[in-house]
Each structure stands twice: as structure tokens, then as C-alpha cells.
Amino acid sequence: MIEISASELLTWVQTGLLVMARVASLLMLAPIYGERGIPPLVRLMLVLPLTLLILPLIPLSAPLPLFGAQWWSAMAQQVLIGVAMGLTLRLVFESFALAGELIANSMGLGFAQLADPVRGVNTPIVGQFLIVVGSLLFVASGAHLTLIQGLVGSFRSGPVTDSALSLGSIRLMLDWAGSLFAGGVQLAAPVLTAMIAVNLAIGVLGRSAPTINLMSVGFPLTLVLGLLMLQWLLPSLAVVLSGWLDAAWPVMGALVH
């Protein structure tokens, strides 16, 4: 017969609550798991099994007075860590949205916007398309499983009561966000360059033949060329996403101290 003392049971419960706080906050923002289309009950069904599976694999934390100041501070730190880890991957998809918005505006499709249920804002149709393609590539590459593996690894560095989101982690997040938004501009750069060349050609045409209706000629031309450039860009999305995810996993691991 297994006997568990009250102090051991309190330690397990306290550690489990702290683990659950990080897991739940991560899944709230993580790609695929944190989509608004997923019902909260389904997310809860993911949080509880993950917590029970992670708990035996990590060192137990020293017991703290429940609902005391130290306990609430530890809970807040776990929530912040989970949010930071989820936001690290969410920024990857925001870079796709930025690239899609730049491409759509250069093609003349800035007015064609859809209600994005993921980001809660109106997104140009090209950006929504790139986000959907990125989500499919995220699942196809097994990154949703690597995310769980990285989550488990973040608990093994030490007890959860000692882990915290430091100023260095926040600086790392800001640097990561800046590099990804720059990557979104670089992703859209080939299409933007082609659109600038087309607009210059249309401008020259308008000056040489003022009687031509530029709206009837320029818009179909930029639209067709933009779609062709987007088709040319699609095969490289898998390589781009893989590179960004390979850079994201070390960032996620470095957030926990």
C-alpha cells in the first residue's frame, strides 16, 4: 500500500498547478492549439493530460504557502513564461501576415479583406492565404509535436518556483520580433520589386499615351503579375517557415531561467 504524506501531496498539487499555468498560457497563444476556432473545452482537455504527463518528468518545487504572495508571484511568472513562449511562435505567423499585407497592397488587393478569426482583425486576403498555408506547413512538418517537446524541456532546467522571465528574456523577445518582421519584408520583397517595376512601366505608358485608361489596363496587369509572382513564391514558403522555426526553438528555450 502506497502512503503519501500531506506535505508530499501538497508539493505535488502545488507543482501541478504551476505546471498547468505555464501549459495553459502557452496553448492559449501557440499556433494551431490557440486558434479561436478551438472550443475552450477542447483546450482544457489538452491542458489536463499534458500537465499529468509532464508532472512526473520534472523536479518537484519546494512547497510555498498556498494563495500567499510567493505563490501568486510564482503563478504569475509561469503565466508570463507560457505567454512569452507562445508569442515566440505566434510572431512567425505574424510575419506571414505582414508579408501578405504588403503583397496585397502592391497588387491592388488592399481593399479585399477578410475577418481573421485567429488574429481578431481584418486581414487582406493574401495575408489570410499565407497564414493558412503556414498553418498547414506547421502541422505537416510536425512542429506542433516539437512545440510540446520544447514545453517539456522548459521544465527540466529547475523547479518551477525558481524559474522567471527576466529582463534578458524580454530583450531577446524584442530582438526576435524585430528579426521576424524584417523577415516578413524580405519574404515579400521579390513581389514588391516586381510590382514597383510594373507601376513604373504603367507610369511611362501613361505619359507616352495619355488617352489610355490606366485603371482598365494597370489593375488587371498588376493583379495577374502579382498572382504569378505569388505562385512562384509558394514553394519557398516551406523553406522559410522551417528556417524560422529552427531559429524559434532556441529562443523558446532561452526564455526560461
Number of folded domains in the chain? 1
Q: Give pLDDT, residue 142.
A: 84
Q: Give pLDDT, residue 256.
A: 76
Q: Give pLDDT, residue 8.
A: 66
Residue 245 lies in a domain: yes
pLDDT of 121 > 70? The answer is no
**Packing angle between helix 237-254 and helix 143-155, nearest 10 degrees?**
10
Q: How far apart are CA 231 and CA 180, in angstroms?
A: 22
Residue 33 lies in a domain: yes
Residue 12's closest CA among 47, 61, 70, 54? 61
Q: Which helix (H) or strand (E) holds 122?
A: strand 122-124
Cβ proximity of 164 and 22 under 8 Å? no
Convert the pLDDT of each residue in 204-247 to its tens digit. 776 776 666 666 666 677 777 877 888 888 888 888 888 888 88
The SS3 of residue 213 is coil
Residue 123 lies in a domain: yes
pLDDT-derived band at 119, boundaries 50, 70, 90: low
Average pLDDT, rounded, for the chain: 78
Please give the model's pTM, rounded to 2 decimal places.
Answer: 0.79
Q: Give pLDDT, residue 112.
A: 55
Number of helices (H) and strands (E), helices first, in the chain? 8, 2
The SS3 of residue 164 is coil
Residue 219's closest CA among 197, 198, 191, 193? 198
The SS3 of residue 113 is strand
- Alpha helix stretches (DSSP H) within the chain: 6-29, 40-54, 69-107, 125-140, 143-155, 167-208, 214-233, 237-254
Angstrom CA distances, 238 to 140, 181, 186, stand at 10, 18, 15
Residue 1 lies in a domain: no
Find cell 500531506 and name the residue.
6
| Candidate ranges 89-98, 118-127, 162-171; pick with highest mean pLDDT | 89-98
Q: Give pLDDT, residue 86.
A: 86
Residue 237's closest CA among 132, 134, 104? 134
Side chain identity, residue 100: G
Q: Give pLDDT, residue 109.
A: 67
pLDDT-derived band at 7, boundaries 50, 70, 90: low
Residue 94 lies in a domain: yes
Which grid cell is 47?
Answer: 491542458
Side chain identity, residue 99: A
Picking from 117-121, 139-143, 189-193, 209-213, which range would have the lowest pLDDT averaged per residue? 117-121
Find cell 486558434 and name the residue.
35
Give the mean pLDDT of 38-51.
Answer: 81
pLDDT-derived band at 5, boundaries 50, 70, 90: low
Looking only at Cα atoms, what is the longest distance across the chain? 94
Residue 147's closest CA among 252, 41, 20? 252
Bridge partners, 113 (sequence order): 124
Q: Give pLDDT, residue 169.
A: 80
Convert the pLDDT of each residue in 46-81 to its tens digit. 888 888 888 887 777 777 776 777 878 888 888 888
Q: Which domain holds residue 74?
A: 6-254
Side chain identity, residue 221: L
Cβ proximity of 187 and 240 under 8 Å? yes
Residue 222 lies in a domain: yes
Q: Give pLDDT, residue 228.
A: 82
pLDDT-derived band at 18, boundaries 50, 70, 90: confident
Residue 200 lies in a domain: yes
Q: Give pLDDT, residue 118.
A: 52
